[in-house]
Amino acid sequence: MAEATTVTEPAAAGATVTEPTGAFSPPTRFAVPGRIAVSDRAAALWQTATLTEIRRETPTVATFRFAVPGWAGHLPGQHLMLRLTAGDGYTAQRHYSLASPPDDTGHIELTLDHVEGGEVSGWFHTEARPGDEVAVRGPLSGFFAWPGDRPALLIGAGSGVVPLMSMIRHHRARGLDVPLRLLVSARGPEELVYAAEYGAETTAVFTRRAPEGVPVGRLSAALVAPLVAERPPGGWEAYVCGSNAFAEHASRLLVEAGQPVDRIRIERFG
Amino acid sequence: MNVTRGFTGRPRVLDPGLPPGQYDAGDDWPVLSAEVTPDLTPADWTFRIDGLVAEPRTWDWDEAHALPASVYEGDIHCVTGWSKFGVRFGGVSLDAFLDVVRPGASATHAVAYSHSGYTTNLPLADLTGGRAWIAWEYDGKPLPAEHGGPARLLVPHLYFWKSAKWIAGLRLLDHDEPGFWERNGYHARGNPWEEQRYSGD
């Protein structure tokens, strides 16, 4: 059973915003250039993260706050690799998106779904308590990172909203005026992660059960197309995160609405 | 070693096929492409090899299928941590393509590129000797688009980001030139048995 994770490449925090250039260019323009220059230093180092707080988000999702005194900082959208070690030396490691914004000095937060049979998420949801120590390595990823510069159109489902919430928190904490929108999909209101935190930037979609007066339905072109059409100066940078099925669906809606494929960044669970 | 209090982990399975830090994904086959799955039919698909070769060549779908069929049965390993055992891909050995274009003596590396524009770099030695394929079948059926269909590169002895989906071509070079993930911190070679995940590993 795969746990909800993210993929992509390591990066160092505080990296300057560049478009990496390469010598060989394929005949087709590269679909998704990286957003930040990367250094390998922070990515290579395993650090101890001490659990300081657990907050329940939904019946199956909780946020875990850690003190990591040597944390190099990160950009919204980046992730880390986390490792648990058993008494006999057996280890299990997973990639998890960072939920907290960059300015939370010396602390990071992860929001984890309790995956059925998940050995790492299972430990977090049944064993973990404040004071426990785990190992982390990161931040990783320059590809899904959002430095807060370009207008961002965010689409997430389930715990796929986690890296997108880091972007929203960053946008608020810094008082950025660059346009930011979020479409978030959940099965029902009780499964909507961070329900109390959303503001005017967010539209929630409920696929099974909806609150009074809100229709039940899948993310649709009727929701995506008008947002894409707003096209702020410089155009949207679209960030999609969720299961593969959701990512395929959402990215197809974006393309059909006219969003350029080289301005769509996708992270799929796996 | 810092033991995590209360963590026991999955039952230990002595599995010599599992590289360090990997777990068995079982029947799952996660999809992790970072870009939109391209709308590419077999009729649109072409595969080219150029660069340091005697005769650059482009194959279309039918021409590629006219080469001798070859099958890979074995395991695949993703840098995100999962491995998948006993997979079966059908296609053509890359050796069959390279025999036609005849790599020059100075060719040491290749950049593989996709119809999506994705790139990844490989030593030529990892692409020859029956260790790499152009694959269009999985489990006896056409390779699904989200897994790289109509055809992908398959280099199963390296982490799977090297097995470029929607393969469009190889350019042979006399030097190593990092591809997309490799420019962004991933390891230049990506050998799962040496756990070469990130640059510096």
Q: Does domain B41-176 have CATH number 3.40.630.10?
A: no
Residue B68, CA distances (Å) to B63, B90, B151, B163 in order: 11, 11, 16, 20
Looking at per-residue confidence, does A81 or A18 come out higher? Answer: A81
Q: Which of B134, B148, B138 is nearest to B59 (CA)?
A: B134
Tell me what pLDDT residue A140 has: 82
pLDDT > 90? residue A22: no
Report the distance separating Cα A45 and Cα A85, nearest Å: 16
Q: Looking at beta carbons, which residues of chain B come within 8 Å of A23?
A: 177
CATH code given to domain A41-140: 2.40.30.10
Q: Given pLDDT bands bounded at 50, 70 and 90, which one contains residue A68? A: very high
Mind telling me how many Å the CA of A135 is from chain B's nearest CA? 8
Mean pLDDT of B132-149: 97
CA distance B114 to B163: 10
Closest-CA distance, B65 to chain A, in angstroms, reads 23
Q: Do residues B82 and B31 make contact, with C-beta atoms less than 8 angstroms apart? A: no
CB contact under 8 A, B30 and A268: yes
pLDDT at A14 over 70: no
More confident residue, A155 or B117: A155
ipTM reported for the complex surpasses 0.90: no
* pLDDT tens digits, A86-98: 999 999 999 999 9
Percentage above 90 pLDDT, chain A: 76
Please state which of the ranges A38-47, A188-197, A221-230, B191-200 shows the lowest mean pLDDT. A38-47
Distance separating alpha carbons of residues B22 and A52, to the nearest angstrom: 29
CATH number of A152-268: 3.40.50.80
Kindly state whether B160 is in contact with chain A, defined as any CB-CB distance less than 8 angstroms: no
Tens digits of residue pLDDT in B89-108 = 999 999 999 999 999 999 99
Residue A21 has pLDDT above 50, yes or no: no
**Which one is predicted more confidently, A17 or A170?**
A170
Q: What is residue B126's predicted lDDT score, i.e. its pLDDT?
A: 98
Q: Does A18 touch chain B (CB under 8 A)?
A: no
Of the two residues A37 and A138, the one the predictor is more confident about is A138
What is the predicted pLDDT for the residue at A119?
Answer: 93
Q: Which pLDDT score is estimated for A41? A: 64
Using an 8 Å CB-CB cutoff, list chain B residues near A257. none
Contacts of A29 in chain B (CB under 8 A): 117
Give the C-alpha separation, B111 to A71, whole Å. 35
Higher pLDDT, B21 or A121: A121
Q: Are B132 and B110 in contact (CB under 8 A)?
A: no
Instruction: Tell me whether A238 touches chain B (CB under 8 Å).
Output: no
* Nearest residue of chain A to residue B12 (CA atoms): A90
pLDDT of A18 reads 36
Is some CB atom of chain A closer than 8 A to the CB atom of B34? yes
B186 touches chain A (CB under 8 A): yes
Give B100-105's long-range contacts (Cβ < 8 A, gap of 24+): B100/B49, B100/B55, B100/B57, B101/B49, B101/B50, B101/B53, B101/B54, B101/B55, B101/B56, B101/B57, B102/B53, B102/B54, B102/B55, B103/B52, B103/B53, B103/B54, B103/B172, B104/B52, B104/B53, B104/B54, B104/B172
* Beta-carbon pairs below 8 A across chains A and B: 177
pLDDT of residue A7: 36
Angle, in degrees to the nearest 10, between helices A221-230 and A244-256 = 50
**CB-based contact, A68 to chain B, within 8 Å:** no
pLDDT of A4 above 60: no
pLDDT at position A23, please?
59
Distance of CA A220 to the CA centre of its chain: 21
Query: Which phi and psi angles does A232 have, rounded to 5°?
Result: -65, 165
Element spanning B194, H or E: none
* Residue B34: per-residue pLDDT: 87
State residue A29's pLDDT score: 61
| Mean pLDDT value across residues A202-223 | 96
Establish if A139 touches chain B: CB-CB under 8 angstroms. no
Quick one: average pLDDT of A111-133? Answer: 96
* Domain regions of chain A by residue span: 41-140, 152-268
How far apart, in whole angstroms, are the C-alpha atoms of residue B199 and residue B195? 11
Which range is least confidently modeled, A259-263, B104-108, B167-171? A259-263
**pLDDT higher than threshold 60 for residue A218:** yes
Rounded Cα distance, B53 and A11, in Å: 36
DSSP assignment of B98-144: HHHH-B-TT--EEEEEETTS-EEEEEGGGTSSS--EEEEEETTEEPP
* Residues in A touching B173 (Cβ below 8 Å): 24
